[in-house]
Every structure is written in structure tokens, then in C-alpha cells.
């Protein structure tokens, strides 16, 4: 047995891994029998088309190898208890001789594949010619017709439909023409929930979809697209039923919207275009000249000229590809990897193997057989994912390594080998780029659907992967299952088959709804667990505490839309190499940093970091962020660390991680010593730092530091960096983010950036703070351009959400006094004068209002707000039904959530009335309500005198009101109010809670007051899920005031509690509180912008790409 082969493979099972472990056997007879069996299996695995008897024998031997490998890994005294297995080994050798399997001819790899020219970009021929496909379709898409138009691209598999759609997506003219857009891929067995969620997430990127039901997703999509010019690309439709569902979500309108579909079936194309054939674009095969151009570009990717001796052979190979780009690219990848010395001979052999009339499937099968067996195994493994499922290169590399498909001396070299295998498959066109961003970065990948069909059939033949999807009602498992993939993405109800063979599972992948997840208690042999789970029930959690029993576990990745519960202790998982939790986790196990085999660690947002000091739980200790810093026993083998929950500062022990290649952390503050700690890491190639506290001094990078760094990302509220000559000598890309502030002078942003001589691209990301105006943003952009002007590389600048920004105690004192730390003294004086004038004006308005209300005995109470003046507010009362139930209340709140200018909504459920307070136009409110309630009508409009009070103001209690004992008043601070749509988003979220009785927004302070029977934590989680960065200011029982549900009282009726009894003084109001921005946060999960995978293959976005493919 060749021990240079990978331990596990599709053709040999666990035979190589077993051979290494059985060297400890003292019984030479047993050892000889095992070696003989392994050698025979290896020889048969080289046969191109072995007979049925040989296939059955190979399958049985592979299953035997897995059984023995499991036994060795789980039994301490296995070396003395192998006799039962040795009987099966001898029986297998006897069958080999009895069937005369030695006569089966074998072959070596005739065409060894070498990744000779690196990773290629998309090869495109003819599409961008004048009058070509891109020009013609662009004209149809922007012809000025305001009616919704559907264009269908139709053609056989491998002809380039997806490539054409991607080229259209990249056209800048189309990007600027449409308001919003989306690109999604379907499949033969589509998951419509995933498709609709992906579309919604792309057209509405600032508000991720929270709905899981089809009806809700369609409603949200229709509502969002109603008044917009949009373009949607739906790739690879196989059935008209997919179109029938999708089209329900696309409003027709008169805004010039467009939908582009691709399909192999002409009837489907006609159905999409409403049977108007003029909107069908039929793709034709490439011409001979175009085929030659594509072939030459693909084979000689570095610009080398083709040898004249190859002309005749290449012309015949091109002819047999029949003008299909997919076939040409796949064949050219095989040919391009041959050494020049025997190129003619190899090309002639390829011509001999290709039939005169060869189909795309046959060419793909030929290319698959040309791959080395180790690469074949890696390709087959991608069958664990559904067709057209979006994958990430780095995830796949880690999974191949964890499954033991890669052999290399060190862990770093294993990842490099895995990356080279991945690039080979990309170059052959078997894995496709899903690169539809405007930069040249590769973000995502997918397996071509023809390749997916091929590897699915071959996995079944070899019993390599068992796939069960939601369409299979009855599943019979005749073979033992080692790798199980449950693809329940489109299922509401699904279950795994009952079979004793499932207890042998080594690898489990689950993609689907939480309610369909099976019990895994019996899967004690699991080495690999990959879970992509979507919650289908409100306020649920996913319990994974059982994983502590999987002592052989090497890889755990969890991507979940809900909270994940992990076990209290994980130190027993001594083989665990990869731990990635892309979900909210309440508490991380306290011994997680003591997993000495750990190579890759990622903790997603909303996670509470563990106590790693060993202090008992009942002892008062510092914050959990500090506890991580004090750990003195990190896993020194770790290669990747991503900590999205903020930590106080860079822990000193990180400086000991000599194997660390990728570090991404969110830190409370960054000091000079922290840079010194990181600068000495010898293997660090990717560094991302998000700093929450403003830097008050220059952060310097000294010569000789960060020698291996290739990508650097730094985000902080204030940017002050200095690069000395000789620092970061290998840096290729740098991304810098900071905030614009009102009146700030941007000096010394980037000192010495010209010393970064190898940097090819500089990206700037600028956020806007609450008080910053447009000219402040422009000033920040101008300062960034000036700072980078000394560097010759390309500079890209874009605006984004505000970066999280904390202040020092001194800066907080400035804020309490109404000053911004970065504001000059002259500007402070001007702002102070403006503030005093505003206070005087508001005081005068309030005085007039008090005098007017004193004369109006119908009003029960008066509450004032400084801004906006109460005189500018309207109080609008509507009758929408005789009575309102919880569902009707939610519908009313949701109907008004899009309207700007609403500060308060109050529902009287018994009377069927809705009161709106704010500066909104009553006509708009009536129109919005009548869309949901046909009988809605206006009762009264007048100046507002009741609004929910801010914290610290007096309120009037209604004694004996039964509601006061169950109602809560929750005051929430919206940290980022630069997005003017925050009120609409918040109202829409709260409309889904039946317990909401009143919602009020204070736009000046950025606060939200919610009254009702609600759980504050659930409210916060829901708002955070809608991308609102929120903090709880206060919670408590609600004391009802006159303004809530008691507004139009009959004249003369006594209102209890309005005035104190005679002789008693009115209680004083509470003293003013600090600004909400200075109140400690309610443990909000920090959610930095998504990471992307760059050209040098760093970490990528961790938002679920199959929920949001393109941004």
C-alpha cells in the first residue's frame, strides 16, 4: 500500500489510514493479509471500467476498511481483538482469487493534471462584440418601455447561459439604470424559500429577511419592489412551477423593471415570457473561429504561442467539442497541463479517446477520469451540497482536510494542497465562479449542474456519499452509510430513514429547517458535522449539547438563524480541529481554548465569550472579554482565529501563536503594545482589526514588522495610522474604515502610506455619525484621497454604515456638555449659541401650548418634548373596525411602518381606534390603512398634546387599572440613527408582536418606547435581527398616562390621579439623565460588515451566501 496516498479516498475507503495504524500489530500473518488486500484494492481502483464482480468486491472491502478503522479508533485494546476482522480479511482475499480479479486490466493516469497557470478568470469569447449578445440584451433591457418585461435566455447545457447572465450583471450601465437587483440560481429540485429569501436579501440589503413562510416572503418582496425599477436574474430554471411561484413576488408596475431567466427548456422559456417569442434569446454554439480563440486562451493561459505541430490535432479536438464553451474549457485544462516534451503525443491520445460525435457529458466524464484519484475524491465530496448551492473555497478546503482527503507534512501545507486541488477544478470549469460583484474579487462558487449530476451518479456507484432530499418519501438503504447528506431545504416535514446502518455514519451534513433535524444521539462515530439550519418557529433554539459525546469529532460548523446551545465542557473533543459557529451562542464552553488540536476557531456575533481563568462560577469576576485576555494556555497549533464578540484588547498570548495565519478580531481599544504583539507573528498573512474606542494617538507600524502580511483591514471611528519604511513589505491589499464627524479636521490620517510599495489596491470605507452632514462626508472623502494620493495604487472609496465608536471618560464629559471631542472651539461656540436659541424657541412654544391647553378641559394631561415642538405635531384618530384583535393590530402597525413622520402609534382594541401622533400627512395614513382595512375612516385631526414621555418625566397613574400589572414599558436606544429609515424598520418589527399596544419614537434622541406585554430580550433580538444596533435603556411596569387609550373622555368626567389631594405637593420629576449614548449597552452583539474572500484567498463573507448570494 502506497502510504503517500491520502488516508481516506473514494476508491480505497480507509485502507491507507488503516495500514498506518496496523503497523503496531505483532502478528505478521495478519499484517501480510492486510497488505495483500490493500494492494489488490489499489490495483483494481485503477481500472477504467471494472466488471460488476470487481465493483462489488471493491465496495465490500471499502466497507470493511471503515469498520476496522472505526474499531481501532474507539477501542483501547483493539490490538488484541482483531481476530474477528481478520476472518473477513482472509475471506475477501479468497474471493479475489476465486473471481480471478487479477485479470482486470488497470491503467495509470494518462493525463496527469497540473495546475500550471494558476486560477483563471472567466473566459469569454464573442459576447461583448459589437452587436453581440450583451449589446442586444442591454438594448432590450433599457429600451424605455415602462411595463415589466421578462427576457429568457435558452440553450443546451454548457453553451454559456450563466456566463452571459453574469456578463449582463456586470454592465455598469445596467447597474446605474435600476434601483435594485438580485441574482439567484435555482435547481431541478428547488428550495423556493431559499430563492425568495436570497432575492429579498439582495434587493433589501439593509434589512435582512426575517420571514420564513412562503406567503410572508412573497408579500415582503412585493411590498418592497412595488414602486421601484428592479432587475432580477433567475438562473437555471427547470420547471414552469418555479416561475409560477417566483412571479407572484414581482409587481408589474410602470417603472421599467426587467426579469432575466435562463433555462435549457424552450417551453419554460416561453412560459416565462408569457409566450412572446420576441423576448426569447436563443444561444447558438460558438463559431469555428470563436472556438479556436477560446481554446487557445484556455490552453495557453499565460500568453504562450501554440506550436504549429499542434494545429491539426487541436482543430480536430475543437471540432469534436461542437462549439460548447464548457466542453472546450474542460478539455483545454487537460491539454494545457501536459509537458511540452510529449505534448503532441498526449494531444493525440486525447483525440483518440474522444468520439467523433461527443456530448458534453462524455467530455466531462473523460475529464473526470483524467483527474488524479485524490482530486476525484475531493470533487465527489461536493455532492454533499444540493445542486447550485453556494460554497466558499476556504470552507471546502477545511472540509477536505478534516475528512482526511489531503496528505501533506504540515497542516499549512495541507491547506495549500487543498487550495491547488480547488483551483484545478475551477480551471476545468467543474466549479464555477459566482463572481457577480463589480470588483474582480471571487466571492462564491458553485458546482456546475452537469458536473453535479456526474458526481452524484459516481458517488452512488462507489457508495461514497448517501444523499436524501425532501422529495424522497421512502428511502431504503441497502448499503452501510459512512457519509450522509440530508438536503431538506424545501421541506416542511421530512425525516431520516430508520436503519441500523446509520450508526456507522462518520460524516453528517444537514441543510434544512430546524423542525426536520434528526436525532444524532446514536452517531457516536461522527468525525465531521456540518449544519446549515434555518429556524421555522419563533423564539426557538438549537440544542447541540450532545456533541460532547462525539469524541472522534474533527470538524464542526454550524450556520443557524437562531440561538445555538453548546455543551458546558468540550475538552473531551481532543481531535477537534475546526470549530465555526455562525450563529448566536449564549455561552461558549469554558474550556474551549484548551482544545490542543484546534486549528480554526470562529465565533459569530452575539456570542458571550467564556470564563477561561479557571475561577469558580460563583466568584465575582471581571467582564467575559477580560477573561479571554488572561488565558495563559492557548492552542499553539491554531491557524485561524475569528472573534466577532468584542474583546477588551489583544491578549498577550496571541504573540505565541507562530502558526497563526488569519486573525480577525473586534477589540474595545488598541494600544501600541498590541501592534508590537501582532507584528512579530511570523505566519500572519491576513489581519482584520475592528477597534471600538476612538484612537487618540498615531498607531505606528515599525520596520521589520508584519513581514508575511498580505491583507490588512482596519476599522475605527477615527483613523490615525503611520507606516514606517520597511513595515509590511509583502502587503498587497489594504482596507481602511472610519467615521466622518461634524466639523472634524482630518489631518495625519495615513502617514507614510507611500512606503507600502507592494500594495496594489487601497479601499476606503467611510461612515457618518449622527450629527455629521453631507459636507462632513465629502470632507472625509477628500481627506482620504489626499492622504492616499502619494501612493500609486488604485484607491476605491465607498460610504457605509457607521462604525461602532466608543469614547474615553474625558470624551464622554465633552459629550455630556454637548461638545464633540473632535469639534474646534469656534464651532463649539457656534453650536452652543444655536442650541441656546433653540431652547428659547422651544420654551416659548411650550409656554403657548400650556396656556392653550389649560383652557381646554377636554384634555386630561399635558406632556412636552423639546424637539420637535408639540405645536408642529398632529394627533390623528382613525376608526378601522368595531374591535381589533391582535392580528388586526399587527396589520395596522405594519401598514404604517413605511410612512415617515410617525412618532407614536396607539391602538384601542376595544373601540377599534388607532391614534397616530407625528408630522405625517393624514391623507397618506388613510391610504395606507385602507389598503389593509377597507372601512377605515378618519375621526379627527388636531394638534398633539399627548406623546409618550421620555424617561425621567412624571406620569399619571391610573389606580385599579388591571392592565398596569402586566404591561411593561421598554425604552430602547437606537445606537445608529444615521439611516433615516430606522423608525420604519422598528415599527415593522414591532408590528409582528401581538403584545404591542403602543410604540413611540423620539427622533432627536434616537429612542424607542414600547408599551405592551412583551419580553424585553425578545424585542431586542428582533430589532437586532433587522440590523438595528440597539441598547435597552430601561424596563419596568408601565404606568398608564392619559394619552394612552383614554384620549377622548366625556367632558366633565373626573379623571382619577390627575391632581394630588389638597395639601399635598405634586411630586418632583426625576433629575435629568445622561445622554442615552453614554448608558452602558444591553449586551448588543457586534455585527461588523461581512468579510469577503479576496483574490489572494482570504476569509470571505460569513453571512449565509445561500440566503444572500450577492451584495
Distances (CA, A) of 1011 to 533, 832, 876, 965, 1019: 33, 35, 19, 12, 11
Q: What is the pLDDT of residues 165-187, one digit of tens each?
A: 989 988 878 888 898 999 999 99
- Say which range, 58-62, 697-701, 875-879, has the weakest mean pLDDT: 875-879
Question: Residues 6 or more apart from 1065 whose CB is under 8 A from it?
Answer: none
- Per-residue pLDDT, 702: 92
Q: Using CB atoms within 10 A of its CB, is residue 382 exposed (0-12), middle (13-18) or buried (19+)? A: buried
CB-based contacts of 540, cutoff 8 Å, min separation 6: 514, 562
Task: State yes or no: pLDDT of 25 exceeds 60.
Answer: yes
Top mean pLDDT of 192-201, 606-615, 698-707, 966-975 is at 698-707
Whether the Cβ atoms of residue 899 and residue 947 lie closer than 8 Å to each other: no
The distance of Cα 148 from the centroid of its chain, to the nearest Å, equals 31
Q: What is the mean pLDDT of residues 108-125?
A: 58
Cα distance between residue 669 and residue 718, in whole Å: 12
Q: What is the pLDDT of residue 38?
A: 92
Residues in a beta bridge with 330: none
pLDDT band at 122 (very low <50, low <70, confident <90, very high): low
pLDDT higher than 50, residue 901 = yes
Cell of 100: 480471478
Is residue 114 predicted with pLDDT exceeding 90?
A: no
User: Taking Cα atoms as reference points, which of 229, 269, 234 lies closest to residue 251?
Assistant: 229
**All cell numbers assigned to 32:** 501480510
How high does pLDDT run on average in the chain?
76
DSSP H or E run through 218: helix 214-225
Greater model confidence, 437 or 605: 605
Q: Which residue has the higher pLDDT, 110 or 850?
A: 110
Contact 984, 1004 (CB under 8 A): no
Is the predicted pLDDT of residue 709 greater than 90, yes or no? yes
Q: What is the pLDDT of residues 988-1010, one digit of tens each?
A: 777 767 667 778 888 777 888 88
Report the distance separating Cα 718 and Cα 997, nearest Å.
41
Task: Kindly state the cell numbers that stand for 235.
Answer: 438562473
- pLDDT > 70: percent of the chain: 74
Neighbours of 200 (CB within 10 A): 25
1105 has a pLDDT exceeding 90: no
Is the Cβ–Cβ distance between 136 and 164 less than 8 Å?
A: no
Q: Which of 1019, 1013, 1009, 1035 is nearest to 962 (CA)?
A: 1013
pLDDT value for 1106 = 61
Placement of cell 507562530 in the chain: 658
CA-based nearest residue to 1103, from 532, 704, 276? 532
The structure's pTM equals 0.72
Q: Residue 943 forms beta bridges with which residues?
A: 874
Higher pLDDT, 903 or 945: 903
Residue 885 and residue 912: Cα distance in Å, rounded?
9
The grid coordinates listed for 801 are: 454604515
| Dist. CA 286–CA 159, nearest whole Å | 8
Contact 971, 1009 (CB under 8 A): yes
Q: Higher model confidence: residue 819 or residue 252? A: 252
Q: How much is the average pLDDT of 840-858?
A: 39
Spatial distance between the Cα atoms of 362 and 497, rounded to a whole number of angstroms: 34
Are 901 and 923 spatial neighbours (Cβ–Cβ below 8 Å)?
no
d(CA 159, CA 164): 10
Is residue 472 very low, low, confident or very high in pLDDT (cuts 50, 70, 90)? low
Residue 875: in which H helix or E strand, if any?
strand 874-879
User: Which cell goes with 918?
Assistant: 407625528
Lateral strand order in the sheet of 149-154: 180-185, 230-237, 258-263, 149-154, 280-282
First to last CA, the chain: 49
Query: Cα 489 to chain center, whole Å?
Result: 17
Cell of 91: 475471506
> Which residues lie below 8 Å from residue 621, measured CB to CB, with a gap of 6+?
611, 613, 615, 627
- Give CA torsion, residues 446, 451, 456, 459, to 10 deg: -100
440-444, 550-554, 785-789, range with the lowest pLDDT: 440-444
Q: Per residue in 408-447, pLDDT tens?
A: 999 999 999 999 999 999 888 899 888 654 334 446 899 9
CA–CA separation, 1054 and 1056 (whole Å): 6
Higher pLDDT, 211 or 198: 198
As a dihedral over the C-alpha atoms of residue 752, residue 1095, residue 111, residue 304, rounded to 10 degrees, the angle is: -60
Q: For residue 793, which phi and psi values (nearest 5 degrees)?
A: -75, 170
Q: Which residue has the higher pLDDT, 690 or 436?
A: 690
pLDDT over threshold 90, residue 900: no
- In which residue are the cell numbers 501563536 written? 657
Q: Is 205 exposed, middle or buried (CB count within 10 Å of its CB: 0-12, 13-18, 19+)?
A: middle
Question: Cell 489510514, residue?
Answer: 17
Q: Binning pLDDT at 50, 70 and 90, where does residue 299 land?
A: confident
Cis previous bond, 162, omega within 30: no
Q: Which three-class secondary structure state does DSSP give residue 374?
A: helix
Lowest mean pLDDT among 123-137, 274-288, 688-702, 812-826: 812-826
Question: Contacts for 989-992 with beta carbons within 8 Å, 24 or more apart?
Answer: 989/210, 989/1022, 989/1023, 989/1025, 989/1026, 989/1028, 990/893, 990/1019, 990/1022, 991/889, 991/890, 991/891, 991/892, 991/893, 991/894, 991/897, 992/890, 992/894, 992/1022
Reported residue count of the chain is 1111
Q: Show Cβ contacts of residue 490 under 8 Å, excluding neighbours closer than 6 positions.
A: 189, 190, 191, 192, 193, 194, 470
Query: Over the Cα atoms of the chain, what is R_g?
Result: 33
Helix (H, G, I), strand (E, B) or coil at 1080: coil
Which of residues 956 and 1019 earns the better pLDDT score?
Answer: 1019
Q: Is the pLDDT at 190 greater than 60, yes or no?
A: yes
Summarize the confidence of residues 612-631 as an average pLDDT. 34
Using DSSP's 3-state secondary structure scheme, residue 811 falls into helix
d(CA 286, CA 124): 11
- E strands, 921-1071, where? 937-943, 968-974, 996-1002, 1007-1012, 1030-1037
Helix (H, G, I), strand (E, B) or coil at 193: helix
Amino acid at each position: 500500500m502506497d502510504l503517500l496516498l491520502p488516508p481516506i479516498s473514494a476508491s480505497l475507503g480507509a485502507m491507507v489510514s488503516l495500514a498506518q495504524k496496523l503497523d503496531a500489530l505483532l502478528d505478521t500473518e495478519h499484517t501480510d493479509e492486510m497488505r495483500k488486500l490493500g494492494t489488490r484494492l489499489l490495483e483494481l481502483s485503477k481500472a477504467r471500467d471494472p466488471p460488476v464482480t470487481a465493483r462489488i468486491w471493491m465496495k465490500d472491502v471499502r466497507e470493511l476498511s471503515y469498520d476496522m478503522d472505526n474499531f481501532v479508533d474507539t477501542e483501547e485494546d483493539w490490538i488484541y481483538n482483531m481476530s474477528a476482522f481478520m476472518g473477513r480479511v482472509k475471506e475477501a482475499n479468497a474471493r479475489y482469487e476465486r473471481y480471478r480479479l487479477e485479470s482486470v486490466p488497470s491503467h495509470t493516469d494518462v493525463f496527469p493534471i497540473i495546475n500550471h497557470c494558476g486560477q483563471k478568470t472567466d473566459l469569454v469569447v464573442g459576447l461583448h462584440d459589437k452587436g453581440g449578445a450583451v449589446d442586444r440584451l442591454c438594448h432590450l433591457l433599457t429600451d424605455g418601455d415602462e411595463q415589466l418585461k421578462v427576457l429568457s435566455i435558452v440553450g443546451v447545457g454548457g453553451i454559456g447561459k450563466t456566463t452571459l447572465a453574469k456578463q449582463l450583471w456586470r454592465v455598469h450601465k445596467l447597474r446605474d439604470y435600476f434601483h435594485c437587483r438580485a441574482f439567484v440560481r435555482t435547481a431541478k429540485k428547488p428550495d423556493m424559500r431559499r430563492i425568495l429569501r436570497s432575492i429579498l436579501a439582495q434587493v433589501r440589503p439593509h434589512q435582512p429577511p426575517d420571514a420564513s413562510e412562503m406567503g410572508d416572503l412573497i408579500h415582503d418582496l412585493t411590498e418592497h419592489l412595488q414602486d421601484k425599477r428592479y432587475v432580477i436574474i433567475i438562473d437555471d430554471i427547470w420547471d414552469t412551477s418555479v416561475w409560477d411561484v417566483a412571479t407572484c413576488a414581482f409587481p408589474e408596475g410602470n417603472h421599467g423593471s426587467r426579469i432575466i431567466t435562463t433555462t435549457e427548456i424552450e417551453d419554460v422559456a416561453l412560459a416565462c415570457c408569457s409566450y412572446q417569442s420576441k423576448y426569447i434569446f436563443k444561444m447558438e454554439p460558438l463559431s469555428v473561429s470563436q472556438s479556436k480563440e477560446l481554446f487557445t486562451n484556455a490552453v495557453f493561459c499565460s500568453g504562450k504561442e501554440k506550436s504549429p505541430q499542434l494545429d491539426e490535432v487541436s482543430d480536430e479536438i475543437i471540432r469534436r467539442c461542437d462549439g460548447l464553451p464548457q466542453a472546450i474549457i474542460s478539455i483545454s485544462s487537460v491539454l494545457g497541463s501536459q509537458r511540452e516534451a510529449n505534448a503532441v503525443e498526449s494531444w493525440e491520445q486525447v483525440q483518440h479517446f474522444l468520439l467523433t460525435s461527443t456530448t458534453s457529458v462524455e467530455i466531462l466524464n473523460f475529464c473526470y477520469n483524467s483527474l488524479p484519484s485524490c482530486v476525484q475524491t475531493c470533487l465527489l465530496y461536493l455532492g454533499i451540497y444540493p445542486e447550485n448551492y453556494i460554497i466558499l473555497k476556504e470552507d471546502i478546503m477545511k472540509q477536505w482536510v478534516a475528512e482526511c482527503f489531503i496528505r501533506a507534512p504540515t497542516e499549512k501545507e495541507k491547506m495549500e494542497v487543498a487550495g491547488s486541488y480547488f483551483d484545478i477544478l475551477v480551471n476545468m470549469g467543474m466549479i464555477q465562479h459566482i463572481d457577480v460583484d463589480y470588483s474582480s474579487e471571487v466571492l462564491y462558487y458553485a458546482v456546475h449542474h452537469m458536473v453535479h449530476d456526474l458526481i452524484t451518479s459516481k458517488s452512488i456507484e462507489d457508495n461514497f456519499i448517501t444523499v436524501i432530499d425532501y422529495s424522497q418519501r421512502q428511502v431504503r438503504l441497502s448499503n452501510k452509510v459512512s457519509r450522509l447528506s440530508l438536503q431538506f431545504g424545501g421541506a416542511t416535514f421530512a425525516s431520516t430513514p430508520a436503519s441500523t446502518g446509520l450508526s456507522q455514519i462518520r460524516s453528517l451534513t444537514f441543510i434544512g429547517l430546524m423542525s426536520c433535524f434528526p436525532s444524532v444521539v446514536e452517531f457516536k462515530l461522527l468525525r465531521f458535522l456540518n449544519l446549515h439550519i434555518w429556524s421555522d418557529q419563533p423564539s426557538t433554539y438549537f440544542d447541540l449539547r450532545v456533541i460532547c459525546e462525539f469524541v472522534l469529532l474533527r470538524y464542526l460548523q454550524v450556520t443557524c438563524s437562531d440561538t445555538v446551545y453548546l455543551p458546558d465542557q468540550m475538552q473531551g473533543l481532543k481531535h477537534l480541529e475546526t470549530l465555526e459557529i455562525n450563529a448566536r451562542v449564549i455561552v461558549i464552553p469554558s474550556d474551549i481554548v484548551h482544545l490542543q488540536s484546534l486549528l480554526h476557531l470562529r465565533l459569530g456575533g452575539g456570542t458571550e465569550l467564556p470564563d477561561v481563568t479557571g475561577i469558580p462560577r460563583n466568584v465575582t469576576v471581571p467582564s467575559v472579554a477580560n477573561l479571554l485576555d488572561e488565558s495563559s494556555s492557548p492552542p499553539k497549533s491554531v491557524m485561524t482565529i475569528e472573534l466577532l464578540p468584542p474583546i477588551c484588547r489583544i491578549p498577550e498570548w496571541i504573540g505565541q501563536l507562530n502558526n497563526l495565519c488569519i486573525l480577525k478580531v473586534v477589540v474595545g481599544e488598541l494600544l501600541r503594545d498590541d501592534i508590537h504583539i501582532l507584528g512579530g507573528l511570523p505566519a500572519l498573512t491576513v489581519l482584520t482589526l475592528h477597534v471600538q474606542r476612538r484612537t487618540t494617538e498615531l498607531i505606528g507600524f515599525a520596520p521589520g514588522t508584519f513581514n508575511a502580511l498580505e491583507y490588512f483591514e482596519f476599522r475605527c471611528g477615527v483613523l490615525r495610522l503611520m507606516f514606517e519604511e520597511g513595515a509590511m513589505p509583502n502587503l498587497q491589499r489594504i482596507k481602511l474604515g472610519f467615521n466622518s464627524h461634524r466639523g472634524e479636521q482630518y489631518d495625519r490620517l495615513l502617514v507614510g502610506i507611500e512606503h507600502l510599495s507592494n500594495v496594489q489596491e487601497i479601499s476606503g470605507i467611510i461612515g457618518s455619525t449622527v450629527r455629521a452632514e453631507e459636507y462632513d462626508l465629502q470632507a472625509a472623502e477628500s481627506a482620504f484621497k489626499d492622504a492616499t494620493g502619494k501612493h500609486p495604487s488604485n484607491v476605491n472609496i465607498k460610504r457605509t454604515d457607521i462604525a461602532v465608536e466608543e469614547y474615553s471618560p474625558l470624551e464622554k464629559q465633552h459629550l455630556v456638555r454637548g461638545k464633540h471631542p473632535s469639534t474646534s472651539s469656534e464651532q463649539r461656540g457656534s453650536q452652543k449659541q444655536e442650541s441656546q436659541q433653540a431652547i428659547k424657541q422651544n420654551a416659548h412654544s411650550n409656554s403657548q401650548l400650556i396656556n392653550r391647553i389649560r383652557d381646554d378641559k377636554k384634555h386630561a394631561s399635558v406632556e412636552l418634548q423639546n424637539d420637535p415642538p408639540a405645536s408642529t405635531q398632529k394627533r390623528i384618530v382613525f376608526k378601522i373596525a368595531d374591535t381589533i384583535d391582535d392580528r388586526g393590530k399587527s396589520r395596522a402597525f405594519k401598514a404604517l411602518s413605511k410612512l415617515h413622520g410617525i412618532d407614536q402609534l396607539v391602538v384601542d382594541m376595544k373601540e377599534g381606534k388607532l391614534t397616530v401622533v407625528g408630522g405625517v400627512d393624514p391623507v397618506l395614513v388613510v391610504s395606507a390603512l385602507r389598503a389593509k382595512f377597507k372601512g377605515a375612516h378618519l375621526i379627527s385631526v388636531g394638534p398633539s398634546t399627548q406623546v409618550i414621555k421620555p424617561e425621567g418625566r412624571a406620569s399619571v397613574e391610573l389606580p385599579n387599572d388591571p392592565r398596569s400589572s402586566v404591561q411593561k414599558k421598554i425604552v430602547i436606544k437606537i445606537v445608529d440613527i444615521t439611516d433615516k429609515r430606522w423608525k420604519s424598520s422598528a415599527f415593522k418589527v414591532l408590528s409582528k408582536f401581538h403584545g404591542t399596544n403602543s410604540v413611540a419614537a423620539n427622533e432627536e434622541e434616537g429612542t424607542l418606547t414600547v408599551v405592551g406585554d412583551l419580553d424585553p430580550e425578545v424585542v431586542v433580538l428582533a430589532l437586532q435581527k433587522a440590523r438595528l444596533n440597539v441598547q435597552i435603556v430601561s424596563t419596568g411596569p408601565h404606568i398608564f398616562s392619559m394619552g394612552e387609550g383614554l384620549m377622548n373622555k366625556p367632558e366633565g368626567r373626573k379623571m382619577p390621579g390627575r391632581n394630588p389631594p389638597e395639601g399635598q405637593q405634586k411630586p418632583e420629576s426625576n433629575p435629568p439623565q445622561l445622554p442615552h449614548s453614554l448608558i452602558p449597552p444591553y449586551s448588543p452583539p457586534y455585527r461588523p460588515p461581512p468579510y469577503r474572500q479576496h483574490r489572494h484567498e482570504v476569509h470571505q463573507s460569513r453571512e449565509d451566501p445561500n440566503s444572500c448570494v450577492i451584495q
